């Protein structure tokens, strides 16, 4: 089975191809200079699964994922009924006061497992503190949680009208409970 969906009023496409127990997903949008987009696979009533961020590649924004069909069924998006893309980070958008953009948050973390987890995320907000730092990742209910291994360490915070999962770290990149 192969299905193709349009993204952003026909400006891009998302293709899902079933190969046995796997689903191969590819999305492409034109590079419009507005920023980075996140793609979602949509299923039955309210089913929505974050696929990830489309990244610049050869003059376009692209995403490729191989996912388990069983996992997509558990998430309520198999068989797929649609797809969506939304602007996640606007180019030139100023970070909230007290924060700066950190394109590679993994470089700040001391634990290899956390570095791998953060390495899958495309950018974060960084706030330097006297005895460490905080990282904030955009997040909304229904989306895959950033850095799930640190779920219990996060606090949800609204920064300039947008929801973030905020994690606090020591100067050596070790997680600390948010207060």
Residues contacting residue 47 through CB under 8 Å, at least 6 positions apart: 75, 76, 77, 81
| In the predicted structure, residue 179 carries a pLDDT above the cut 70 | no
* Total residue length of the chain: 179
Residues contacting residue 129 through CB under 8 Å, at least 6 positions apart: 168
Residues contacting residue 101 through CB under 8 Å, at least 6 positions apart: 95, 123, 124, 125, 126
| In the predicted structure, residue 58 carries a pLDDT above the cut 90 | no
Buried b (16+ CB within 10 A) or exposed e, 29-63: beeeeeebbbbbbbbeeebbbbbbbbeeeeeebbb
pLDDT single digits (tens) 124-176: 899 999 899 999 998 888 888 899 889 999 999 998 778 899 999 999 999 99
Residue 118: the pLDDT is 84
Rg from Cα positions in the chain:
17
Per-residue confidence at 92, pLDDT binned at 50, 70, 90? Answer: low
Contact 17, 23 (CB under 8 A): yes
CA 37 to chain centre: 9
pLDDT single digits (tens) 105-130: 888 998 888 888 887 776 789 999 98
Report how far residue 100's alpha carbon sits from residue 126's, in angstroms, rounded to the nearest whole number: 5
């Amino acid at each position: 089975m192969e299905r193709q969906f349009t993204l952003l009023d026909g400006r891009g496409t998302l293709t899902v191809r079933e190969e046995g127990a796997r689903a191969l997903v590819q999305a492409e949008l034109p590079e419009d200079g507005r920023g980075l987009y996140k793609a979602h696979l949509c299923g039955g009533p309210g089913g929505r699964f974050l696929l990830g961020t489309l990244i610049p590649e050869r003059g376009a924004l692209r995403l490729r994922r191989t996912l388990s069909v069983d996992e997509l069924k558990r998430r309520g998006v198999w068989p797929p009924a649609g797809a969506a893309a939304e602007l996640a980070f606007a180019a030139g958008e100023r970070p909230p006061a007290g924060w700066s953009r950190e394109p590679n948050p993994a470089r700040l973390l001391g634990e290899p497992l956390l570095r791998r987890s953060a390495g899958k995320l495309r950018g974060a907000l960084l706030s330097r503190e006297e005895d460490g730092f905080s990282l904030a990742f955009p997040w909304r209910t229904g989306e895959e949680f950033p850095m799930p291994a640190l779920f219990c360490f996060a606090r949800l915070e609204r920064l300039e009208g947008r929801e973030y999962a905020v994690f606090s770290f020591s100067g050596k990149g070790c997680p600390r409970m948010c207060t």
